Amino acid sequence: MTDKVRLGIVGLGAQGSMYGRLIADGRVPNIEIGALCDSDPAALAAAQERHPGVPAHPDYAGVLSSGDVDAVVTCVPHFLHPEMGIAALEAGVHALVEKPAGVYTRQVAELNAVADKHPELTFAIMFNQRNNPLYQAIKKIVDSGELGAIRHTSWIITTWWRPQGYYDQSAWRATWGGEGGGVLVNQAPHQLDLWQWICGRPQSVYAKLGFGFRRDIAVEDEVSVMVDYGGGATGVLVTATHDLAGTDRFEILGDNGKIVVDGSKRATVTRLSKPEREISDSIDAAGAKLLFSGGLKTDQYLSTEVLEFESVWGGQHAGVLENFAANILDGTPLIAPGADGIHGVRLANAIHLSGWTGQEIPLDLDEDLYLSELNARIRAEGSFPERS
């Protein structure tokens, strides 16, 4: 291998085309396009015009056997990510799968198992928001223990407004059999990853979901979730695709402070002078009375810092692509190891199952029950094959 990785782009829709532009524009210096692949002749022809001279294939099997690529990125429908990732790794080709890693944990676990058998190959996932310097800074603060034990988290992320026409573009969109779900699998996988990457994985979830709540679709367009981290710590996630104004606000409350992120662009970090319980215990009844009369100023116990970073369009994606290639070339640690993809899928599965059954669901969920419930909905649609 030279100083560049030959990447096959499988799927030339919006995402695959974006990666092609980033590479062609020189924004991923250690990657060159080795092959193009799409089952749609028109999409493949359009990509060939943009990237003349690059080998083109109508199916991914041809890409993997061509000898033209060292690695592939899978920009295809969610159900196909594990299948294509497995095929690549078994063919001796490095694999970068798009998010989510799959639709249900059983298929993603199969992908991870194959990756474990091929430690010589690089396996990564396109969690590009892990490459956002704001979230990297927040994770560093939380990991340092500076906030103390986390007591509560919340994320309201409703900036996904989609009109009905978006869902009417194709028969597979917003279906159980074609897409595998709604906002949880299509719009919010990055938040499901970041939430756990920064705050840790919960023990259980209880969810209320609206299926076709404000859109003429079968899947969820409204989600309200409470998670239990254990030890009394809890979290809340609210997401939807029908809020035209939209909100993106992420809060992390710890014993020693709090982080509030607005719009995924600006974070206010509040640090307490000592743990909150110590502050509470230091104030007697007389002091408490001053709180209500305005005589006790709580700002004496805290300080704030505002974090803001520039995030150039495409920079996060280009960075993950470059990091993926660097791991292949010289072993640079991955920003987003492929094995991490199962965590977001497991959380989405638990949320779906809770919404379907009305019960609190452990993160160590019953995979057979989940698949049975999913297939029941696929059968009801009558347009797609059941999954196994």
Residue 161 and residue 240: Cα distance in Å, rounded? Answer: 8
DSSP secondary structure code for residue 337 in this structure: B
The confidence score (pLDDT) of residue 296 equals 86
Which of 369, 350, 355, 371 has the alpha carbon at shortest distance from 204?
A: 350
Which of 104, 101, 103, 105 has the alpha carbon at shortest distance from 127?
A: 101
Half-sphere exposure (Cβ direction) of 98: Cα atoms closer than 13 Å: 24
**Hey, where are the domains in the chain?**
5-130+313-337, 132-309+344-381
Kindly state the average pLDDT of the residues 315-339.
Answer: 97
Sheet holding 5-10, edge to edge: 56-57, 31-37, 5-10, 71-74, 94-97, 123-125
Residue whose pair of structure tokens reads 């994606």 in the numeric block:
317
CATH superfamily of 5-130+313-337: NAD(P)-binding Rossmann-like Domain (3.40.50.720)
Asked if residue 94 lies in contact with residue 121, where contact means CB atoms within 8 angstroms, the answer is yes
Distance of CA 80 to the CA centre of its chain: 17
Q: With pLDDT > 70 as the criterion, what percentage of the chain qualifies? A: 100
Residue 342 and residue 180: Cα distance in Å, rounded? Answer: 15
The confidence score (pLDDT) of residue 306 equals 98
Residue whose pair of structure tokens reads 């509040």 in the numeric block:
270
Q: Encode pLDDT of 132-165 as tens digits.
A: 999 999 999 999 999 999 999 999 999 999 999 9
Please report, for residues 47, 100, 149, 280, the alpha-carbon distance to residue 80 in angstroms, rounded to integers and kept in the order given: 21, 10, 39, 53
Across the chain, the runs of DSSP E, i.e. the strands, are 5-10, 31-37, 56-57, 71-74, 94-97, 123-125, 150-157, 204-211, 220-230, 233-240, 248-254, 257-262, 266-272, 302-308, 361-362
The confidence score (pLDDT) of residue 146 equals 96
The confidence score (pLDDT) of residue 310 equals 82
Asked if residue 62 lies in contact with residue 88, where contact means CB atoms within 8 angstroms, the answer is no
Q: With pLDDT > 90 as the criterion, what percentage of the chain qualifies? A: 93
Residue 148 and residue 30: Cα distance in Å, rounded? Answer: 40
Residue 184 and residue 128: Cα distance in Å, rounded? Answer: 17
Where does the pLDDT of residue 1 fall: very low under 50, low under 70, confident under 90, or very high at 90 and above?
Answer: low
Q: What is the pTM of this model?
A: 0.95
CB atoms within 10 A of CB 241: 28
Q: Encode pLDDT of 276-287 as tens digits.
A: 999 999 999 998
Residue 324 and residue 121: Cα distance in Å, rounded? Answer: 11
Residue 173 and residue 218: Cα distance in Å, rounded? Answer: 10
Tell me whether residue 382 is exposed, middle or buried, using C-beta atoms within 10 angstroms of its C-beta: 0 to 12, 13 to 18, 19 or more: exposed
Residue 128 and residue 180: Cα distance in Å, rounded? Answer: 22
Residue 236 and residue 207: Cα distance in Å, rounded? Answer: 10
User: Does the 132-309+344-381 domain belong in CATH 3.30.360.10?
Assistant: yes
Least confident of 77-81, 118-122, 139-143, 291-295: 291-295
Residue 226 and residue 234: Cα distance in Å, rounded? Answer: 7
Q: Encode pLDDT of 236-295 as tens digits.
A: 999 999 999 999 999 999 999 999 999 999 999 999 999 999 999 999 999 888 888 888
Q: Encode pLDDT of 47-60 as tens digits.
A: 999 999 999 999 99
Sheet holding 233-240, edge to edge: 302-308, 266-272, 257-262, 248-254, 150-157, 233-240, 220-230, 204-211, 361-362
Kind of pairing between the strands at 71-74 and 94-97: parallel
Least confident of 20-29, 106-115, 310-319: 310-319
